[in-house]
Structure 1
Amino acid sequence: MRARRCASAHFRHNDPESLRSVLRMARANIDRAVVVLEGHHSMDGTVGRLPEIASFAREFDCAVMVDEAHSLGVFVADGRGVREHFGLPGDAVDIWMGTLSKALGSCGGFVAGDADLIDAMKAAAPGVAMLSGGPAPSTIGAALALAILHMEPQRLTRLWPNTDFFRGLLVERDLDLGVSEGTPEQLRSTADELAEAVRVAEALLAIDGIG
């Protein structure tokens, strides 16, 4: 049996009304649909408007998948991510995914959902579920950083003053941070990428006499 092709459509960045317009025009011609977004947008420094986007996705009978790669280990007191940030139940979306390679400093990742979904994914992706090698003990040990965040919330308490301090230094040096919302991800968009990257690097190295 030939695999059926998947189509993709895009909505404006972090714009629930744009998503609703796209779904209103396209959803009737699609058998199944999933809306995918980041919990914390790594290239923009913005927080995904998850409650509104998920609500509009449900309105048009779409599944929802959230990538927690950059929000895990960052939001709420013990780093549990954007779901806890918005106070949402686990079943607010269908698929939660993320990586252990950012805040936790390990390797690998995770996919979470209800039991039927996970069983289906194991059956549909046997190369991942059955043929992957086990993680090294050091990788498992690093992933335990999630427990450390829970036991030592002062680590996250320090994160936000450090973020505010760093952001202030960037603003003082006339670096336009665009739509960044003061989260640890700081956006710097440039037109002349190479020349501006050099200027930004020099400005950062000059902070507090570094470099």
Structure 2
Amino acid sequence: MGKHLVSWFVATTIYLSYGVMFIFGYVEEFLSYIKRKVLFFQKKKEPTQPVKKSKQLASLTNSFESFYIRKIYAKVIDTYNRPITTIPGTWIVVRDRWFSKGIGSELEYTGKEIKCLNMGSYNYLGFAKTTGKCHMDVIKSTDEFSVGQCSTRLELGTTRIHKELEAEIAKFVGKEDAIIFGMGFATNSTTIPLMAGKGSLIISDSLNHASLVCGSRLAHAQIRVFQHNDLRNLERVIRDSIIKGQPRKNRPWKKIIIIVEGIYSMEGEIAPLPEIVRLKKKYNCLLFVDEAHSIGAIGPTGRGIVEYFGINPDDVDILMGTFTKSFGSVGGYIAGNKDFINFLRLKSFGALYADSMSVPCVQQALSALRFIMYDKDGKKTVEKLRENSNYFRERLVRMGFEVMGDFDSPVIPIMLYCPAIFTTFSRECLQRDFVSVLPILLDELKNALDIISEVGDILMAKYRKEMNVDQQKLLSPRKKFEMLQNQQQSIQIK
């Protein structure tokens, strides 16, 4: 459980609950297998012709994944598969569904719609709405360009709005140029294979997103993994890789690419980018940073993790981000030097074969970006997100919940551990008109905290006593980095 340790009693009950769940699941699977065999032998009708044994087909998932989906996900699908009928704002309307024939059967609509406080969307800055300037700009772009270009970027799919967004995002992150894609996953999975070929090495964080893993595996390159946010392990992997060289031939690597995320979407942790940049320079590596959750969300003006730590954008070779979180749209971008971006325009499968990003979506991202960059309230919106995130995180910690992640991060995971607890937790919250980014208003945050605290008490999900937290633990990564720099400067002066 890493840094988030619980008592031995809680840990024992957690492992025991999973063990019991797996045992019952496998027993049920075995009994189902016996039943099928018995029914097969009871059949009296013989086949009219001999049945040839077909070759075993390649399965799409391994046996454990299939078992986990059938015996766990299928029984709790009501907790994560809830249709909503409104925009993903502070309040949403949820269509209530329940199992028609008991837990694990098909879901059916109950006829009930519930207005709930929303804590489970990516609408970080509130741009996904049907009012305001962004909405009006999208309507105008739809009237002018329609909803689709029916072409790839290299043929007829590039409009002036596509070019404007690419120019603005490059300016926003401090790079020479940028290219946009219609899907965030495809941004990574089609770009990384063009960066690394034979003789190249990819060094990837162990908790990188699936799109980064997919892109790395598609590249004709060797892959090494380092422990999550562990700088010592990262340096060890780099040094060992340089010393040993390529497999069998032991030749030097043509290039070494370090791939990390700005904010990790499942853990809410911010990457220690200053130290990663130092290692990148020390060993002459390339650095690829995925800012899907950090662009628009951290930094004084929302420019992401590079601005957050005060790093020169030139020290990061490739900056990737998406428009699905802070900007209320879809798609993603790659920002870098002009030569590399032009290379992507000519060679990337995302530009060669995929349909061009829908113009209304491009306009939504562009209008939101310009609001953050140029409007007097843009900086205030980013600052409000940071304040709300830190307030919410601190209150949860003081209540006694196990909370992962760093301060200043808008991703705030509460560790419930036990499968019985997290399903019941979700259902209990729904009964209180709450679905489990953050709401904007302080009163709504307090309301959400009260609901979480009440349900946490009922399910005994507070693994620590309510406490006065050490102020050192409430420091953000940027504050810790600044304190470390000041200490180093004081030592040098002495």
TM range (shorter): 0.7 to 0.9
Paired AA for residue 403 in structure 2: L
Q: 1:174 to 1:200 in 2, by over 3 A?
A: farther
The DSSP-based 3-state class of the residue aligned with 2:226 is: coil
Is the counterpart of residue 24 in structure 1 residue 239 in structure 2? yes
Task: For 2:318 and 2:451, locate their aligned partners in 1 and report how far apart those are by CA, in whole Å.
Answer: 46
Aligned to 2:363: 141
Q: 1:165 to 1:51 in 2, by over 3 A?
A: closer
Q: 1:166 to 1:97 in 2, by over 3 A?
A: same
Further displaced range: 43-52 or 3-12: 3-12
Q: Aligned-pair RMSD on alpha carbons?
A: 2.6
Which of 155, 160, 165 is the equivalent residue of 2:381? Answer: 155
Q: 1:167, 1:182 within 8 Å by CA — same for their partners in 2?
A: no
Aligned to 1:73: 296
Task: For 1:7 and 1:166, locate their aligned partners in 2 and report how far apart those are by CA, in whole Å.
Answer: 41
Task: For 2:342 and 2:326, locate their aligned partners in 1 and report how far apart those are by CA, in whole Å.
Answer: 28
Aligned to 1:111: 334
Q: Deviations over 1:51-92 (max 9, x none)?
A: 111221232221100011111111123211111111222211
> What's the CA shift for 1:26?
1.4
The DSSP-based 3-state class of the residue aligned with 2:292 is: coil
> What's the CA shift for 1:159?
1.2
The DSSP-based 3-state class of the residue aligned with 1:132 is: coil
Q: 1:209 to 1:36 in 2, by over 3 A?
A: closer
Aligned to 2:281: 58
Q: 1:11 to 1:139 in 2, by over 3 A?
A: same
Task: For 1:85 and 1:148, locate their aligned partners in 2 and report how far apart those are by CA, in whole Å.
Answer: 19
The DSSP-based 3-state class of the residue aligned with 2:240 is: helix
Further displaced range: 69-78 or 25-34: 25-34
For structure 2, the 5+ residue unaligned runs are 1-196, 199-219, 247-252, 435-447, 456-494
Aligned to 2:411: 185
Is the counterpart of residue 47 in structure 1 residue 262 in structure 2? no
Count of residues in Structure 1 that have an aligned counterpart in Structure 2: 208
Q: 1:194 to 1:118 in 2, by over 3 A?
A: farther
Q: Deviations over 1:160-192 (max 9, x none)?
A: 222133224433543201343352111233432
Is the counterpart of residue 93 in structure 1 residue 316 in structure 2? yes
Paired AA for residue 256 in structure 2: A
The DSSP-based 3-state class of the residue aligned with 1:33 is: strand
The DSSP-based 3-state class of the residue aligned with 1:56 is: helix
Aligned to 2:401: 175
Q: 1:180, 1:187 within 8 Å by CA — same for their partners in 2?
A: no
The DSSP-based 3-state class of the residue aligned with 1:35 is: strand
Q: Deviations over 1:86-121 (max 9, x none)?
A: 122221111000101111011111001112222333
Q: 2:231, 2:276 within 8 Å by CA — same for their partners in 1?
A: yes
Q: 1:63 to 1:141 in 2, by over 3 A?
A: same
What fraction of aligned residue pairs are identical, expressed as a percent?
29
Task: For 2:309 and 2:419, locate their aligned partners in 1 and report how far apart those are by CA, in whole Å.
Answer: 35
Is the counterpart of residue 132 in structure 1 residue 354 in structure 2? yes
Q: 1:200 to 1:111 in 2, by over 3 A?
A: same
Task: For 2:288 and 2:392, locate their aligned partners in 1 and report how far apart those are by CA, in whole Å.
Answer: 31
Q: 1:19 to 1:129 in 2, by over 3 A?
A: same
Task: For 1:116 and 1:209, locate their aligned partners in 2 and report how far apart those are by CA, in whole Å.
Answer: 52
Further displaced range: 163-172 or 5-14: 163-172
With the length of structure 1 as denominator, give the TM-score of the two structures. Answer: 0.85
Q: 1:45, 1:182 within 8 Å by CA — same for their partners in 2?
A: no
With the length of structure 2 as denominator, give the TM-score of the two structures. Answer: 0.39
Which of 1, 4, 7 is the equivalent residue of 2:222? Answer: 7
Q: 2:257, 2:288 within 8 Å by CA — same for their partners in 1?
A: yes
Further displaced range: 102-111 or 46-55: 46-55
Which of 102, 123, 129 is the equivalent residue of 2:325? Answer: 102
Paired AA for residue 419 in structure 2: E
The DSSP-based 3-state class of the residue aligned with 1:111 is: strand
For structure 1, the 5+ residue unaligned runs are none
Aligned to 2:16: none
